[in-house]
């Protein structure tokens, strides 16, 4: 399997420089370096999206640009006024980066690269449907959480939980804790040494495969909204 080591080195080198000079003047003066890194990330994204479609037949790839997040930050309502994200990220899911569905997320960031899945801060209607499906089919949900591949790659669900059960759900349900999450996400981090290892792309794909069943469970719940 192709390692993309040259592309990954190029991306990390650019992000190191950006970390030292995260301002518009530097960025504009070094636009060519950004475009080279962006192209390298697009090549990796294209490879991964095609590979994902081989084991998740529900995912129909289009073009890499549909899945990649912009590096430019919206700082209007943020205390952090740095104008650029210090990472390249993409989520592989039907509908692209603005999709409401669970997908296969990855980003390259200096010593904080990541592969992750699930849905992050979904809107109320999607969140309610996922929570309802979890309580209705909690046995299957717990079985997925207990799968060997899932447990090997993830510590479980990672997000802030409500102190009390969400409105409209039975407080005395034995599995009520499962619906207190505000997001349903699971992630695995990688150091720069791991990113530059020959097997990194293979590791990303193995991580994606480990989240496939959970993504499918969540997406089934979201599909139910539109089938009504």
Helix segments in the chain, DSSP class H: 5-20, 24-29, 31-55, 124-136, 138-145, 148-153, 192-195, 200-227
pLDDT at 63: 97
pLDDT at 228 over 70: no
pLDDT at 189 over 80: yes
Q: pLDDT digit string (tens) for 47-99?
A: 999 999 999 999 999 999 999 999 999 877 777 889 999 999 999 999 999 99
Q: Which residue has the higher pLDDT, 160 or 187?
A: 187
Mean pLDDT (the chain, rounded): 95
pLDDT at 77: 73
Q: Which domains does the chain have, with CATH numbers?
A: 5-227 (3.30.930)
Rounded distance, CA 200 to CA 188, Å? 13
Q: Which residue has the higher pLDDT, 227 or 124?
A: 124
pLDDT at 79: 76
Determine the average pLDDT of the residues in 89-116.
97
CA atoms within 13 A on the CB side of 123: 7
Residues 6+ apart with CB under 8 A from 209: 55, 149
pLDDT at 169: 94
CB 214 within 8 A of CB 58: no
């Amino acid at each position: 399997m192709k390692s993309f080591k040259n592309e990954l080195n190029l991306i990390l080198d650019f992000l190191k420089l950006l970390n030292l000079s995260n301002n518009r003047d530097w960025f504009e003066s070094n636009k060519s370096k950004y475009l080279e890194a962006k192209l390298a990330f697009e090549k990796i994204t294209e490879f991964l999206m095609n590979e994902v479609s081989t084991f998740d037949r529900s995912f129909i790839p289009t073009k890499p640009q549909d899945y990649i997040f912009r590096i430019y930050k919206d700082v209007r309502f943020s205390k952090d006024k740095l104008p650029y994200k210090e990472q390249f990220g993409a989520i592989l899911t039907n509908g692209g980066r603005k999709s409401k569905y669970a997908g296969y997320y990855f980003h390259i960031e200096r010593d904080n690269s990541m592969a992750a899945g699930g849905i992050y801060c979904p809107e109320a209607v999607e969140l309610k449907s996922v929570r309802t499906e979890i309580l209705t089919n909690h046995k299957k949900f717990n079985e997925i959480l207990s799968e060997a591949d899932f447990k090997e790659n993830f510590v479980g669900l990672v997000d802030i939980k409500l102190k009390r059960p969400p409105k409209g759900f039975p407080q005395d349900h034995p599995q009520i804790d499962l619906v207190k999450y505000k997001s349903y996400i699971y992630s695995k981090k990688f150091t720069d040494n791991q990113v530059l290892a020959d097997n990194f792309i293979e590791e990303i794909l193995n991580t994606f495969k480990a989240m496939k069943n959970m993504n499918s469970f969540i997406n089934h719940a979201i599909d139910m909204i539109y089938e009504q």
